[in-house]
Structure 1
Amino acid sequence: MTQPCAPLDPRLNAFRDDLADAALKGRVSSERFAEGRSAGVVRGIADLRRAPNARSGLDTQLLFGEAVTVFDEADGWAWVQNRTDGYVGYVESAALGAAPPPPTHRVTALRSYLFPEPNLKAPPLDCLSIASPLCIVGREGDYAALHGGGYVYGKHIAPLDDSEPDFVATALRFLGTPYYWGGRSSVGLDCSTLVQLSLACAGVSLRRDSCQQATSAGEALNGLPGEVVLQRGDLVFSPGHVAMVLDASMPDAARIVHANAFTMTVAIEDLAALEGRVRAETGGGFTAVRRIAQGN
């Protein structure tokens, strides 16, 4: 997923003609500036849209437990910035609650139910996705109690500092997950979210969109596929897309794992097959390769 990057990216900077983040004063023109207030996401998944309208384009999603800064609120919509990756957009006000305390854990299962009590037979309140940050305040049997109420199965979470360094293995857990433009959960996701969430489980923070990742993730390699020796975990970029190298033991037969609109799933594919489609669709080839330090 990608869109053209601007010098002052409106996806990562909260500014409108009538209102802007106080931190941008002197950098943008606006009628007024505001510090914003803190809030937390109280839905398992909440859509972040380009305009305060349910029919507006979906840019990304917020996850349960994430903290946001609210700059404006009207007619059931809040204009916010996600503190996890800086993304700006409109979310339904009903998806927000009080500012969350610092998280202590994160969801490690692809999906896990939020229960009203520590009982698997209780009708779930919601379903949480992998990488959702949680503040755990106690244990009751096999379940962990959340700040603010609710319980999750204890084996589906881990302390924040308990990372999963093999982010390629994490990406493989998503195999078969539907491709969903703007999706940012294990229910449906796009190419850059597969990378973002997999790295998040390894304790590495990444930007949301592929054009942002192509200039900021890890370290840029001095060359493109066919010119450099690829390694497991390398990120290969093409216009509007990012894929993760699965294995490169045979340089001419490297494989990748990626969320893609060709199979409409997260799938394993030969890198050469992707290159062929890229050249046919864009007239060009790959644009960058970036390497994430293993073991983070």
Structure 2
Amino acid sequence: MAAEVENLAAGRIRMGRPGAVGAGRDRFGLSGTSQSYDPRVVAIRPDLADIAVAGQHFAPHYAAPMMSSCVLPSAVLRGAPSLDADQTSELLYGEGFALLDLTGGWAWGYCLADHYVGYLAADALGAPIAPTHRVRASEALLHSAPDAASGGSAVLPRGALMMGEPQGEWLATAHGYLPLAALAETDVVEADAATVAEELVDAPYLWGGRTAAGIDCSGLVQLAWGAAGIQLPRDSDLQFAALGADKDVDPAQLERGDLVFFPGHVGIMADATNVIHASRRWMAVKVEPLADVIARSVAKGQEPPVSGYKRLK
């Protein structure tokens, strides 16, 4: 792993040397004032920015991202290069990461699936893969041999991406074997999002989490809809905006699979009256009456919850 990190560090393109991405240019100009941006999804620091925003946002230097992928079962994405920094999201095994800077054991860049920006421990990253399968069980054990009795080297979470060749009932990878029964091919759409969310009921609540070991409300929705073939942004407000959420949906018309938004919160309807959500009140993924969640929102003095409903079909 140390060699892989050294190779990534040596190969990164930064400090005004954009290479192919910049079509040979090493200087950029703005045609007007620098545009406003959301730092969660636009990679800009005081000293460095993604080459993709050159000409739109000012930075002293620009970097062309180097593609990599997560080599740990999951890796915490943080808002700053420190173990004390808040967790903002999580990168799962095999998921892609656009690396912009590697300094002091921390990698800075953005997750390829949702463009979420942050810092990862450098040893979480390795060479990019071309995934063939993803984990569709809540968790899957990576075995040392194609035998259920063999030991396992890692437990991979739902949504983890793998590259390998099927051998009988197993997927053979460079790091071990996974049972095909726990996997789906990457281009196969799984069950509806509500079914995926139900599989994670009772998983503990974790701000920034995306696995059965800990997950937050928008992470649950993102993971469930990703399995159903729809890639959503990371945070609930970004999901709301990306979907063009309908602010005038009657709660009485909601059905299984509809998304329901509250200020700073989102859930998936299990049926016409119950919602599946990762709840900070219960500190776990729960199914409970939507009316109860609405009542708590009203009690907090928040805007009428009905303004946040979105029917997703």
Question: Could you tell me the TM-score, scaled by structure 2's length?
Answer: 0.85
Tell me whether 1:65 sits opposite 2:94 in the alignment.
yes
What does 1:106-255 correspond to in 2, within 5 Å?
106-139=134-167, 141-146=168-173, 148-217=174-243, 220-221=245-246, 223-226=248-251, 229-248=253-272, 254-255=273-274
Give the drift of 1:55: 0.9
Structure with the larger helix share: 2
Distance 2:52 2:286 in 1: 41
Give the drift of 1:221: 2.7
CA contact (8 A) 1:36 1:71 kept: yes
Distance 2:51 2:45 in 1: 12
Q: After superposing the two structures, state which structure 1 stretch, 275-284 or 41-50, moved more.
A: 275-284
Distance 1:182 1:39 in 2: 21
Give the drift of 1:121: 3.8
Partner of residue 263, structure 1: 282
Give the drift of 1:244: 1.2
CA contact (8 A) 1:17 1:29 kept: no
CA contact (8 A) 2:193 2:228 kept: yes
Q: CA RMSD in A?
A: 1.7
The one of the two structures with greater contact order (alpha-carbon pairs below 8 A, sep at least 6) is 1
Give the drift of 1:225: 4.0
Runs of 4+ displaced beyond 6 Å: none
CA contact (8 A) 2:108 2:119 kept: yes
Determine helix, strand or coil for the equivalent of 2:228: coil
Aligned residues: 278
What amino acid sits opposite 2:127 in the alignment?
A: A
CA contact (8 A) 1:210 1:240 kept: yes
CA contact (8 A) 2:249 2:310 kept: no
CA contact (8 A) 2:263 2:302 kept: no
Distance 2:283 2:304 in 1: 21
Give the drift of 1:283: 3.5
Give the drift of 1:241: 0.3
Distance 1:267 1:225 in 2: 23
Question: Could you tell me the TM-score, scaled by structure 1's length?
Answer: 0.89
Q: Deviations over 1:124-173 (max 9, x none)?
A: 2221111112112242x432112x32211121001122212421111111
Give the drift of 1:222: 5.0
Please list every run of 5 or more consecutive structure 1 residues that lacks an aligned counterpart in the other structure. Answer: 1-5, 249-253
Give the drift of 1:110: 0.3
Give the drift of 1:26: 1.5
CA contact (8 A) 1:114 1:126 kept: yes
Q: Deviations over 1:262-292 (max 9, x none)?
A: 1111111111110111112244331322222
Larger-gyration structure (1/2): 2
Please list every run of 5 or more consecutive structure 2 residues that lacks an aligned counterpart in the other structure. Answer: 1-34
Partner of residue 251, structure 1: none
